[in-house]
Amino acid sequence: MKSVSFFKIIYSILIFTLIYMWSVYIMDYYTAGDQIIYNRFYKEAFNLSFLETYILSRGLLDAGEPGFSLIIFYATQYLERVNFVSVTNAILAVLLFQSVNKRQNLWLIFFFLITNYYVSVLFFSAERLKFAAILALIFLKMRPGYLKNVLLLTPSLFHFQYLLLLPVVILGLNQEKISSFIRKPSFGLPAMKSFMFIILGVCIFTFALRFSATLLNKFFAYSGSADIFDLIRVFILSGFLVFISKDRIIGIFIALYFTSVVLVLGAERIIIMEVGYIFSIIRLLDINRAAAFMLIGSYFSFKTIAFYGYVFECGHGFVCK
C-alpha cells in the first residue's frame, strides 16, 4: 500500500512538471483572443487593492465573481502571468489525476481526460471556470458532512456558471438517498438536516439576490444559441451518461437536466460540464463501456489537436477571424 502511495506521489509530481512545462510553451503562442484582455487585466491589477481589482474585473472582463478577483489580487504580487497560468494548470491536472487514481484502467481514463478538448479550454481559455473546477475537485475529495456541503457552494464565487452544475453535484453526492426516496417516498427528516437545508437555502437565496443583475445578464447573453448539431451532441452524451450511470434513474434525471439547460442556454458551456460529470462517474466495467468511452474520448481528443492547431495558427484555440 505504501509503495502504491509513493508511486502516486511520483506520478503527481511528473504530471505537475509536464503540464507546467507544456503550459509555459503554449503561452508563448496563445496571445490573441481573450488573452489580450486577461493579460491587460493581470498587468493593471498589480499593486491594486482587492476592491480596486474587483472593480477593474467588472470593467475590463465584465466579471462579477469576487473569488477570481481575490486570486488575481494575490497572484500579481508574486507571479508573472505565464507562471501563474502554468502553475494553476499543473494543479488542475494533478487534481484530475487524483480524482480518477483509484479506478481500474486508470491510465486509459486519465489519458482521455487530460487530452480532452474541454480540459485544454480550461487550461488556456476559461480561466475563471478553471478556478471553480479546482475548488470543486478539492472539496469533492472531502469526507461527507455539512462543511463539505457548504464549501461546495464556494466555487460559484469564482465562476457563476458553476451554479448550473450545482444541482448535478447535489444529485450525484446524494444519489442513493434520492433514488431510495423515489422508489419508496418517506418525508421524515431529522431536525439537524432540516436546519442545514434551511441554512443552505438562505445562503443560495442571499447569493442570488446579491448578484441578481450579473446573473440575469449572463443568462440573457448565453440564452437561445443551440443549433441542431449542439442538440445531436448533447443527446449522444446524455445517452452515454445514462448508459454508464450506476443508478439509471439518477442518470436519466441528470441527462434530462443537461439537455434542458442546453435548449435554453446553448451547448458549449453546458457540454463542458456534462463531459466533466461523465469523467467523474465513468467506470470501465465491461467491453461495451470501454468501447463507447474510447469512441467519445477519441472525438474530444481529436478536437484538442484542432484546438492547438488554431493556437499556433491564430494565437488562440478557436477558428481564426
Say if residues 152 and 166 touch (Cβ distance below 8 Å): yes
183 versus 144: the higher-pLDDT residue is 144
Name the most confidently modeled range: 27-36, 85-94, 128-137. 85-94
Cα(212)–Cα(189) distance, rounded to whole angstroms?
31
Flag the least confident range among 19-33, 86-100, 255-269: 255-269
Cα(321)–Cα(315) distance, rounded to whole angstroms?
11
pLDDT tens-digit profile of 231-254? 788 888 888 998 888 888 888 888
Decide: helix, strand or coil at residue 106. helix
pLDDT tens-digit profile of 299-312? 999 999 999 999 99
What is the average per-residue pLDDT within 126-131?
Answer: 89
Please check the confidence at residue 265 and state whether its pLDDT lies above 70.
Answer: no
Could you identify the residue written with the cell 456558471? 161
Please check the confidence at residue 191 and state whether its pLDDT lies above 50.
Answer: no
Please check the confidence at residue 86 and state whether its pLDDT lies above 90.
Answer: yes
Q: For all residues of the chain together, what is the average pLDDT?
A: 81
Say if residues 244 and 279 touch (Cβ distance below 8 Å): no
Say if residues 96 and 110 touch (Cβ distance below 8 Å): yes
pLDDT confidence of residue 178:
65
Residues of the chain above pLDDT 70, percent:
80
DSSP for 180-220, written as a single string = HHHHS------HHHHHHHHHHHHHHHHHHHHTHHHHHHHHH
pLDDT confidence of residue 4:
57
pLDDT tens-digit profile of 177-186? 666 666 666 5
Domain boundaries, the chain: 1-143, 160-285
pLDDT confidence of residue 192:
47
pLDDT confidence of residue 103:
87
Specify the DSSP class assigned to residue 296.
H
What is the average per-residue pLDDT within 200-217?
Answer: 51
Confidence band for 195, pLDDT divided at 50, 70 and 90: very low
Angle between helices 212-222 and 191-210 (to 10 degrees): 70
